[in-house]
Chains A and B, each alone.
Chain A
Amino acid sequence: NAGVTQTPKFRVLKTGQSMTLLCAQDMNHEYMYWYRQDPGMGLRLIHYSVGEGTTAKGEVPDGYNVSRLKKQNFLLGLESAAPSQTSVYFCASSSLSNYGYTFGSGTRLTVV
């Protein structure tokens, strides 16, 4: 039982490049979330999904897009990376019966 798996774990991008972060969960959770963590800022919600095919904006959605085509996967896309998107990105999931989050191990992204 892997829980929540994020790929890649590390990535360096040049300004203007695009990339997709993948989050996969094997717990049959309905809800999935993308957060970013910056020093001294805690975690901030980027986008979230309450079910397959549905997504919603969080606190800091600008510059990101998401898709949830399959219940177990939640993708976070950066179309044109900017240095301000340098951060650690965390994916989390939770269920209808228990709202407690399970987090992935994070993706450290650097945009130069």
Chain B
Amino acid sequence: GIQVEQSPPDLILQEGANSTLRCNFSDSVNNLQWFHQNPWGQLINLFYIPSGTKQNGRLSATTVATERYSLLYISSSQTTDSGVYFCAVNRGGADGLTFGKGTHLIIQP
């Protein structure tokens, strides 16, 4: 199956800082999504981005499918951005996603 590697595994930043999270995957994909799991365990879909660039407020994501990686950018971090960020992929739209192990982000006030 597809391997998904996320880096860094842990990241501690001060409020207001910017960050870049990376997701590498081992094969071509037709579906790539980024999720945020908050400290209470809720999983929120941030982006469906199999290719190209999208932006939503302070968050943006870029996927370079030909080079098999995706980046999630968080600007002007807030404490509410803390949690675990997961990248997940698959080869076909309806198949289940394969998740990476996540990046644990802590934003300190």
Contact = CB atoms under 8 A, between A and B. Distances in A.
Interface of A: 30-31, 33, 35, 40-45, 48, 50, 58-59, 88, 90, 92, 94, 96, 98-103, 105-106
Contacts of A92: 43
A90 B98 CA distance: 14
CB-CB nearest 6 A-B residue pairs: A45-B96, A100-B48, A103-B43, A42-B99, A43-B99, A42-B101
A101 B99 contact: no
B86 interface: yes
A90 B101 contact: no
A101 B45 contact: yes
15 contacts: A42-B86, A42-B99, A42-B102, A43-B86, A43-B88, A48-B95, A48-B96, A88-B41, A92-B43, A94-B94, A101-B43, A101-B97, A103-B42, A103-B43, A105-B41
Nearest to A88: B41
A48 B31 CA distance: 16
Nearest to A50: B94
B96 A33 contact: yes
Contacts of B41: 88, 105-106
Given A33-B97, A103-B42, A106-B41, 8 more contacts: A31-B94, A42-B102, A50-B94, A59-B1, A88-B41, A99-B94, A101-B35, A103-B45
A98 B99 contact: no
